[in-house]
């Protein structure tokens, strides 16, 4: 596995109680056709023997160990801070890389100096003719949607193109872009932190390139399920996950719901330019009404919704302070950012709301 003294690429893997997944992830890195990389595992207080397992079986892996679960954002940031490569690759522990993955990344980053960050083609682990994502689309009402989610892995998503941003399963960043823009926001803890970084990188003028030749296979949502105590099912013979075969589950856990509800407003208040908010305020309000109805009336989980809103209000002054710095340093205008977004269909939002009544 990559153990170069002067690595070109640093692969950062956040982990929390993912021992049963790590052989899939780390074995795929051992099979890479590209050798000039280092692997950094950031362990967030695992109690399942993850660190001991990696130390014994993958001695070339650099381990950053925390005593408690600091969340995805803080864990990844800790790995980035010790990384030596000029290219930072964030790689989920519930994913498998194709053998040419890093070789493609290294080549494409060199060929495209105009791009500051890059998205992979992410295919479902258990259903390899179906996409998990081909990057991220940004909608002007504050939604970030996975491109190609559950679509067939066909020619439509085999085309290299500029897109808005990356999916957190496997993000590729020039180190210099992160140095200028800043790392993941640790107040997000988990979920949507990559969306926040996507919009901040765009505000700083960095372009995102989708590179379909860089392929990984994603299992999906395992850490979120563990955190919510929903449990993760494994094949006891193979010790491989057997849940989520192209379906992440119909019920969203309280852990995921809380962080996505709260973090959406963190992102809007902190990183959305004023022109974007003003032009799309009706759609944003409508989306929030839709969320209110979903969690309080349909799901009957008001504690999740109001807990998220209370925590958002508690941290609002801190987000506003961060906003000041972001708006002062941004390099593109409101109209330029709007041009990168997908237009929100107000009629569609109204139909979605009526469907929840």
**pLDDT band at residue 94 using 50, 70 and 90 as cut-offs:** very high
Judge whether residue 353 has pLDDT over 60: no
Judge whether residue 188 has pLDDT over 50: yes
Going along the chain from its start, the domains and CATH numbers come out as 9-224 (3.90.550.10), 254-356 (no CATH)
Judge whether residue 2 has pLDDT over 80: no
Q: What is the mean pLDDT of the chain?
A: 88
Whether 33 and 51 have beta carbons less than 8 Å apart is answered as no
Strands 207-218 and 95-97: antiparallel
**Local structure of 44: helix, strand or coil:** strand
Dihedral sign, CA of 195, 119, 190, 77? negative
Say what the pLDDT of residue 3 is.
59
Judge whether residue 77 has pLDDT over 80: yes
Tell me the mean pLDDT in the region 64-81: 96
Tell me the mean pLDDT in the region 257-272: 95
Judge whether residue 196 has pLDDT over 60: yes
299: its two tokens: 């799901």
Residue-wise pLDDT tens digits, 99-157: 999 999 999 999 999 999 999 999 999 999 999 999 999 987 778 999 999 999 999 99
Residue-wise pLDDT tens digits, 204-260: 999 999 999 999 999 975 444 444 333 333 343 344 444 443 344 457 899 999 999
Judge whether residue 76 has pLDDT over 80: yes
Q: What is the DSSP string of 281-316?
A: HHHHHHHHHHHHHIIIIIS--HHHHHHHHHHHHHHH
């Amino acid at each position: 596995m990559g153990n170069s003294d002067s690595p070109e690429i640093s692969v950062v893997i956040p982990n929390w109680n993912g021992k049963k997944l790590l052989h899939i992830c780390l074995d795929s890195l051992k099979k890479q056709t590209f050798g000039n990389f280092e692997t950094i595992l950031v362990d967030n207080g695992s109690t399942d023997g993850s660190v001991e397992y990696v130390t014994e079986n993958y001695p070339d892996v650099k381990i950053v160990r925390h005593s408690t679960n600091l969340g995805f954002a803080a864990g990844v940031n800790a790995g980035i801070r010790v990384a030596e490569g000029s290219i930072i690759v964030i790689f989920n522990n519930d994913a498998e890389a194709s053998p040419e993955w890093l070789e493609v990344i290294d080549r494409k980053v060199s060929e495209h100096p105009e791009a500051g960050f890059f998205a992979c083609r992410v295919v479902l682990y258990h259903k390899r003719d179906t996409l998990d994502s081909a990057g991220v689309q940004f909608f002007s009402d504050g939604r970030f949607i996975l491109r190609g989610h559950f679509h067939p892995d066909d020619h439509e998503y085999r085309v290299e193109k500029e897109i808005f941003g990356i999916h957190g399963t496997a993000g590729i960043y020039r180190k210099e872009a992160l140095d200028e823009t800043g790392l993941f926001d640790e107040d997000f803890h988990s979920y949507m932190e990559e969306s926040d970084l996507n919009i901040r990188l765009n505000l700083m003028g960095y372009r995102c390139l989708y590179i379909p030749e860089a392929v990984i296979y994603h299992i999906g949502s395992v850490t979120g399920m563990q955190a919510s105590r929903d449990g993760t099912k494994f094949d006891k013979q193979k010790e491989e996950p057997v849940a989520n075969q192209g379906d992440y589950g119909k019920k969203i856990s309280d852990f995921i719901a809380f962080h996505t509800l709260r973090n959406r407003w963190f992102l809007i208040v902190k990183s959305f330019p004023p022109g974007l908010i003003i032009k799309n305020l009706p759609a944003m309000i409508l989306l929030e009404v839709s969320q209110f109805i979903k969690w309080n009336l349909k799901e009957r989980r008001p504690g999740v919704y109001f807990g998220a809103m209370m925590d958002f209000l508690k941290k609002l002054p801190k987000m506003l302070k961060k906003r000041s710095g972001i708006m002062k340093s941004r390099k593109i205008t409101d109209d330029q950012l709007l041009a990168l977004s997908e237009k929100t269909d107000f009629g569609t939002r109204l139909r979605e709301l009526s469907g929840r009544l």
